[in-house]
Amino acid sequence: MEISSVGVVGAGQMGNGIAHVFALAGYDVILTDVNEAALRNAIATIERNIERQVSRGKVSAEEKAAAMARITTTLTLAEVGPCDLIIEAATERETVKQAIFEDLLPHLKPHTILTSNTSSISITRLASRTDRPEKFMGFHFMNPVPVMQLVELIRGIATDQDTWDKMHAVVRKLGKTAASAEDFPAFIVNRILMPMINEAVYTLYEGVGSVQSIDQSLKLGANHPMGPLELADFIGLDTCLAIMNVLHDGLADTKYRPCPLLTKYVEAGWLGRKTQRGFYDYRGDVPVPTR
C-alpha cells in the first residue's frame, strides 16, 4: 500500500510545519483542529514559510502553488480517518492524545497507519488504546519542522516491520533523516536536551548566573547556536516541564526532577515566545531577560 494521503491532527506550530513538508513532498494533506482560527493561522503560516523558501530559491512558485493546493482543512476529526497515514500533533498531554485516537478509530481504513508526534509519551501505551498497535509508531519531528532535518522514529512494543519500513520510506521522501529510538521516556533528543535545559534553569534558580550570562556562556563557550534558556522559550516552558515530568515519572530518578523555577514560570503563564514572556520578555523590540 502506497501512502498518498496524510491527516495531521493539530494545527499548531508542529502541525502546520508537518503539513508544510508533506504537501511540498507531494502528499495530499488534510489538516484538522478544534479551533477554526488555528486552521486559518496555520494556512497563512504555511503560505508565508513556503514563500520564504521561494524567495531563497529553494522552491519554485509552481511548487508552492501545487503544495498549497494539496492542503485542505476541516474542523471534523472523522474526515481525516480515511487517510493512509495520520499524524497526531496535539498538545503534549496523554489524555488528549488518547481521546483523539479513540475518536478516530471508527473512521479508519484497515490499512491506515497511526502515528504520534509526541516528544516524550510512551508509544506502546498510546498504541494499546487503539485497534492497531502493530500499525502505530512514534513520528517525532523537530521544531521548526521545515528547517530541522531529523525525524525520530519510535517503535512501540507491537509495531510491525512493515509499518516501520513504510515510515522510514516516508522520511526519505520528505528529504529528512530518520533516527531510530527505543520507546523509553523522551526517546533520544529530549532525553538529552531537556535535562540540559532543566539544569540551566537550576543554574538560574540557584543564582549561579543570570539569564544573559547562562545563555551567553553556552553560545560562546560550547558553540551552541542558541542559549538553553532562549531555547526553552522557543520550545515552550509548558512543553519543557511536561517532558521533565515524563522523565521523572517514567525513570524514577531524582536527576530528572523539574526545577521549581520552571514550574513557577509555567504557573505564571509565562511560557516563552508564544505568550510573549518566559525567561525573556518579548513584548518590546528586543527580548529582555526577566531575571
Binding residue positions for NAD(+): 10-15, 33, 92, 97, 119, 143, 274
In whole angstroms, give the CA distance from residue 251 to residue 223.
30
Question: What single DSSP character describes residue 26?
Answer: T
In whole angstroms, give the CA distance from residue 191 to residue 62.
40
Q: Which amino acid is at 86?
A: I
User: Residue 116's closest CA among 133, 28, 107?
Assistant: 133
Binding site, by residue number, is: 10-15, 33, 92, 97, 119, 143, 274
Cell of 134: 502493530
Which residues does residue 260 pair with via DSSP β-bridges, in sequence order? none
In whole angstroms, give the CA distance from residue 258 to residue 242.
9
Catalytic residue numbers, as ranges: 119, 140, 152, 190
Residues comprising the chain, all counted: 291
Buried-exposed string 16-34: b where 16+ CB fall within 10 A, e elsewhere? bbbbbbbbbbebbbbbbbe
Question: Which contacts of 61-70 are long-range, i.e. CB under 8 A and separated by 24 or more positions?
Answer: 63/24, 67/20, 67/23, 67/24, 68/23, 68/43, 70/23, 70/26, 70/27, 70/28, 70/29
- Residue 37 burial class via C-beta count within 10 angstroms: exposed 0-12, middle 13-18, buried 19 and up: exposed
- Enumerate residues 6+ apart whose C-beta is below 8 A from 253: 247
